[in-house]
Homo-oligomer: A and B are copies of this chain.
Amino acid sequence: MEQLVKEEWEKFSGLLSKLSGYTEAIGLLHWDLRTGAPRKGVETRSNTIGLISGEIFRLQTSTEMGEFTQFFSRPEVMNQLSDVQNKIVKDCRKEYERSQSIPAKSYEEYSVLTAHAQTIWEEAKESGDFNSFAPYLSKIVAFTQEFIDHWGVKDSRYDTLLDMYEPDLTVEKLDDIFGRLRSRLVPLVEAISASPNKPDKEFLAQVFPKEQQEKFGLFILGQMGFDFEAGRLDESVHPFATGLNPGDVRITTNYLPDNVTSAVFSSLHEGGHALYEQNISKELVGTPLAQGASMGIHESQSRLWENMIGRSRAFWHRYYGDLQQHFPEQLAGVEVEDFYRAINSVANSFIRIEADELTYNLHIIIRYEIEKLIFNEGLEVNDLPGVWNAKYQEYLGITPPSNALGVLQDVHWSGGDFGYFASYSLGNMYAAQILNTLRQELPEFEDLIAAGNLLPIKDWLTEKIYRYGQSLTPSQIIEQVTGEPLNPDYLADYLEAKYTELYQL
């Protein structure tokens, strides 16, 4: 590397490390708000978060960021950089150009609008009154359309939005992928609905003391290889995971006294996110690559641990005895197979976040199709409830009795997060495809689970995925690990096999 390039890189690293520091601070300020900050400090805290977020935005769009990324993008300079360095430059440049292109005034108005809209949405959801929220949503859509023009229309307008969360996936690819998935899942769901072999879930409706739930959750996290010297578990209303840095990854759960499975599976879910963040290579610390490759890849790791491992027969044949020991009265006389069937019961329901492993994907496909209609076909906001309800009837055979149980259920649109939903289902598909390779390369996979020896699985995932952080793109990861691009058949195969057996179809 030439001396000049070396010196410039050192200066650039200073800027990156500043960005990392502010990002860690923001992470902690948010974590604290959600885990126990006193109510009366919230207003001042919000200003502090706004201040530091503003500072991050300022650095990302600063003249120096523009100049550095331009300099390091010259072919004769790129030649001298490592792959990781080039990826850093590419990601920073993308962020720079995206943020730069929006007029400051529009962005400011948009920020105020979305902050306000979230409160309006909360009230609308409470009352089920879509009309009170619609004007705000229309404005958010209008701003987003304006931003798409600034960012530049890709293959289609909605492609520009998808690109923010899952850089390699386009409407063309997703239409094919979701189409294939939907065509296999809808009949499967119908067959399950028609099956007389419904699991008994009644025994789950009991009181499960919080202290015991917490003990069991901590035990399972330990089994997964969660490093408690590099992370912690707390409580919050909505479970989440946040990686301040690979040595400080925090997850939360919410203990419901009348629901033992909620906290168990949220711990497995957030624990999966956490294993990813804890095992990112230390070399990436202080750079923007010290995070997951994409929303979808991140979600694949939470889903793999929550569903493919955590809701597997092998897992509960190993751990059900431990669960029983934590709740001897509640689970006396409940056989492991009954438990396994109960936690895998499928139901056509209205609310995405309460959906089972199978129908969840249909909830996502509905949102994907609707967002595409909004941005590519000009679907009017006022027509959303009708379209929403029709699709629920078509794919799940049910029509929401109210907008609160329908189009108003998710917070995302009130914050302008269009293009995000797809990641959830992509996570499931990535996970199933990775699982397929994992089973080939670690043929003793199920025996390991059945023996409670989960660490080799964590190590394999670290080796193949975690350590790279964001230094590879989602498609590079999935192709490097599995040898082919994203293929929805792995998820369909997995779900068909699992549920055909479970429901004796």
Residues of A within 8 A of B (CB): 17-18, 20-22, 24-25, 28-29, 32, 36-45, 47-48, 51-52, 227-232, 244-249, 285-286
Q: Which residues of B have CB within 8 Å of A32? A: 28, 32
Q: Report whether B44 and A232 are in contact in the complex, using a CB–CB cutoff of 8 Å.
A: no
- B247–A51 touching, CB < 8 Å: no
Bound Cα distance from A20 to B52, whole angstroms: 11
Question: Which single member of B24, B37, B228 contacts A44 (CB below 8 Å)?
Answer: B24
A231's closest neighbor in chain B, by CB? B38
Residue pair A25, B24 in contact (C-beta under 8 Å): no
Minimum C-beta distance from A264 to chain B (A): 23
Question: What residues of chain B lie closer than 8 Å to A249, measured between beta carbons?
Answer: 38
| Chain B, residue nearest A42 (CB) | B247
In the bound complex, CA of A47 to CA of B20 (Å): 10
Task: State which of B17, B22, B45, B232 has its C-beta within 8 Å of the C-beta of A38.
Answer: B232
- Complex-state Cα separation, A39 to B246, whole angstroms: 11
CA distance A230 to B41 in the complex (A): 6
B40–A52 touching, CB < 8 Å: no
**Are B25 and A48 neighbours in the complex by a CB distance under 8 Å?**
yes
Q: Which of B25, B40, B51, B248 is in CB contact (< 8 Å) with A227?
A: B40
Q: How far is the CB of A284 from chain B (nearest CB, A)?
A: 12
List residues of chain B with CB within 8 A of the CB of A227: 40
Q: Is the CB of A40 within 8 A of B232?
A: no
B51, A18: Cβ atoms under 8 Å? yes
Chain B residue at minimum C-beta to C-beta distance from A26: B25
Taking a contact as CB atoms under 8 Å apart, the answer to whether B248 and A21 are in contact is: no
B17 touches A47 (CB 8 A): yes
* Contact between chains at A25 and B43 (CB < 8 Å): no
Interface of A is mostly: helix
Please report the C-alpha to C-alpha distance between residue A43 and residue B249 in the assembled complex, in whole angstroms.
Answer: 14
Beyond contacts A18-B51, A44-B286, A47-B286: 8 other A-B pairs, Cβ-Cβ < 8 A, are A21-B47, A21-B51, A25-B29, A38-B232, A40-B246, A44-B245, A44-B247, A45-B245
- A25–B28 Cα distance when bound, in Å, is 9
Set B44, B248, B286: member contacting A40, Cβ < 8 A: B248
Task: Tell me the nearest residue of chain B to A43, going by C-beta.
Answer: B247
A38 — which chain B residues lie within 8 A by C-beta?
228-232, 247-249
Q: What residues on B are CB-neighbors of A17 within 8 Å?
A: 47, 51
Q: Are B232 and A45 neighbours in the complex by a CB distance under 8 Å?
A: no
Give the shortest distance, in Å, between A32 (CB) and chain B (any CB). 6
Tell me the complex Cα distance, A229–B39, Å. Answer: 5
Nearest B residue to A31, CB-CB: B32
How far, in angstroms, from A57 to B248 measured CA to CA in the complex? Answer: 27
* Shortest beta-carbon distance from A348 to chain B in Å: 42
Per the bound structure, the CA–CA distance linking A22 and B40 in Å amounts to 19
Q: What are 6 inter-chain pairs, A to B, with CB distance below 8 A?
A: A21-B51, A22-B51, A38-B229, A40-B227, A41-B230, A44-B247
Give the chain B neighbours of A20 by CB distance below 8 A: 48
* Residues of chain B within 8 A of A52, CB atoms compared: 21-22, 25
Min CB–CB distance A62 → chain B (angstroms): 15
Residue from A28, A39, A41, A51 with most neighbouring chain B CB atoms (10 Å): A41
Query: Measured between alpha carbons, how far is A42 from B249 in the docked complex, in Å?
Result: 12
What is the bound-complex CA distance between A261 and B43, given in angstroms? 36
| Closest B residue by C-beta to A39 | B229
CB pair A36–B230 under 8 Å, yes or no, is no
A227–B20 CA distance with the chains assembled, in angstroms: 35
> CB-nearest residue of chain B relative to A243?
B41
* Contacts A24-B48, A36-B232, A52-B21; A247 near B29 (Cβ below 8 A): no
How far apart are the CA atoms of A47 and B18 in the complex, in Å? 9
Q: Which of A21, A28, A229 has the most CB of B within 10 A?
A: A21
Give the docked Cα–Cα distance between A207 and B230 (Å): 33
Contact status B41-A245, CB under 8 Å = yes
Q: How far is the CA of A127 from the CA of B310 in the complex (A)?
A: 51
Across the A-B interface, the 6 shortest Cβ-Cβ residue pairs: A41-B248, A40-B247, A41-B247, A21-B51, A40-B230, A44-B245
CB distance from A169 to the nearest CB of B (A): 32
Docked complex Cα distance between A234 and B29 (Å): 17
**Residues of chain B lying within 8 A (CB to CB) of residue A42:** 247
Instruction: Tell me how far the C-beta of A232 lies from the nearest C-beta in chain B, rounded to whole angstroms.
Output: 6
B48 and A21 contacting across the interface, CB-CB below 8 Å: yes
**Given contacts A38-B231, A40-B247, is CB(A45)–CB(B24) below 8 Å?**
yes
In the assembled complex, which residues on chain B have CB atoms less than 8 Å from the CB atom of A228? Answer: 38
Residues of B contacting A44 in the complex (Cβ-Cβ under 8 angstroms) = 24, 244-245, 247-248, 285-286
Q: Provide the residues of chain B in CB contact with A231, threshold 8 Å.
A: 38
* A28 interface neighbour in B29, B229, B286, Cβ under 8 Å: B29
A77 CB → nearest B CB, Å: 27
Our pick among B22, B45, B47, B244 for the contact of A41 (Cβ within 8 Å) is B244
